[in-house]
Chain A
């Protein structure tokens, strides 16, 4: 429970932290596109290199960035196992037989192993770059960025400001609700509840006594939070000002050029070199 890394801000004063959140959001989209466009290890290496530069510039400890993978560890392992067991390709990447073992629908091949490594790296990069956004951007800045990028939707009478505020509050409540879940789990454990053994259905059933108190307390919380917001003169969008204004500066320009170069580079690699897929 404690390593829910996603959505946690890592406070530091760095180049990356000070970038315009809108740019960081667009950069992330570009970066994810680049990762998906990369069809060989060179492309991924280029992405990883750029990510490494970003991490070093941001002063976020590398270990913390790697820890973000833990959240999707199951997905990563699952993908890898599926690739290794079911890929029947006969491409040889190194000496020795292209197919090591085959039985009915199962097979272990060189291609399967290579693809498994490739996909694991791709997933890991995806998660690491996404968590870099939340590590280096305060939720308020992030939602301000989203709000600003979604401004055109205001013409369609979509309450962009409210959506942004809701996102912001959801992010700030993650640690609170995590703590609450832990408390409830401990209380149920103390009364003999068992969350660790039994088959998947038993375990899912064991979650119900956690979810219900959590839901009830969240509703109470929401009511009190509403009262607190009302007391602090919240009236929706009416006459509201913003303390933090977003500004596009020279740093942002550099980051923008870097992102554009990365995407172009990966696209060129794909067009002229081809890939393993």
Chain B
């Protein structure tokens, strides 16, 4: 089943519409043009693009934080309109970039409860959902902790739990790892991959870290409000010359392969670390 589908969606920022994101500050007149794409249920899709390519706008359009100027968006077959928006927001959870800007309460369980309270669940059900969500992100022992005292990665895991408490079927991560240190990034990616595999949650991962895109089933590259590439991550990274024109680089492993080839070591164009290590070992011996 189609989880989400964009059909010919366009959106134009009006002058001075900064949209809360400093990188959008000069976006007056910026456009998303005729966006067409679909994500299947259970899929893990990465959306890549440099700053201002329109990838965050895509997230905001998908649950009507921004209403599209034209075109249609469907979520599990239901058209996204003013009437259906609250039902659809239950299905789509969005985790934003800055964990500090997503918490409404100072204690972990109170914050996770927020979404579940908003949709009017019974007390026992909310309690059960908090347990489920905190367990899913590996934070159950922090249920009564003060959020301000947690690390960046832990805060962001609480934000994910807050979204999970609504039991969404789609989760969109809008550069959710951008402000974290490498350890925090790994924590988040582990959680996301597990949610996709075990809970069968459809994941749309918006990022500019190429390494993260390697974990996805499919990658979409955006540039100036348009989709310019769409393929398996390996297929995308095989076209590195083209990627460079969109201000994107290869993941580190791709750079290493390229460097080795240029230096005269004939390794194959792989993105698999184990395989590359094997080939290097062969060449050296």
Contacts and interface: CB of A to CB of B under 8 A. Distances in A.
A171 interface: yes
B100 A221 contact: yes
Interface string B202-241: 0000000000000000000000000000000000000000
Number of chain B interface residues as a range: 35 or more
Contacts of A244: 110, 113
A230 B85 CA distance: 10
B103 interface: yes
Contact of B93 (A176, A227, A231): A231
Number of chain A interface residues as a range: 20 to 34
A243 B127 contact: yes
A109 interface: no
A232 B113 CA distance: 10
Contacts of A241: 117, 120-123, 126
A188 interface: no
Nearest to A232: B115
B134 to A, nearest CB: 13
A175 B89 contact: no
Contact of A172 (B18, B63, B86, B103): B103
A171 B111 CA distance: 13
A226 B60 CA distance: 12
Interface in B48-88: 60, 63, 65, 86
B106 A243 contact: no
B51 to A, nearest CB: 16
Given A172-B147, A223-B19, A241-B120, A9 B106 contact: yes
Interface of A: 9, 11, 138-140, 165, 168-169, 171-172, 175-176, 220-221, 223-235, 239-245
Given A227-B20, A243-B109, 12 more contacts: A9-B106, A138-B106, A139-B106, A140-B106, A220-B20, A224-B21, A227-B94, A231-B65, A231-B92, A235-B118, A241-B126, A243-B126
Q: Across chains A and B, which 10 residue pairs bring their CB atoms closest together, nearest first?
A: A223-B20, A232-B115, A175-B148, A172-B106, A239-B120, A243-B113, A224-B101, A228-B102, A140-B110, A233-B118
12 contacts: A9-B107, A172-B106, A175-B148, A176-B148, A227-B60, A231-B94, A232-B118, A232-B162, A232-B166, A239-B120, A241-B122, A244-B113
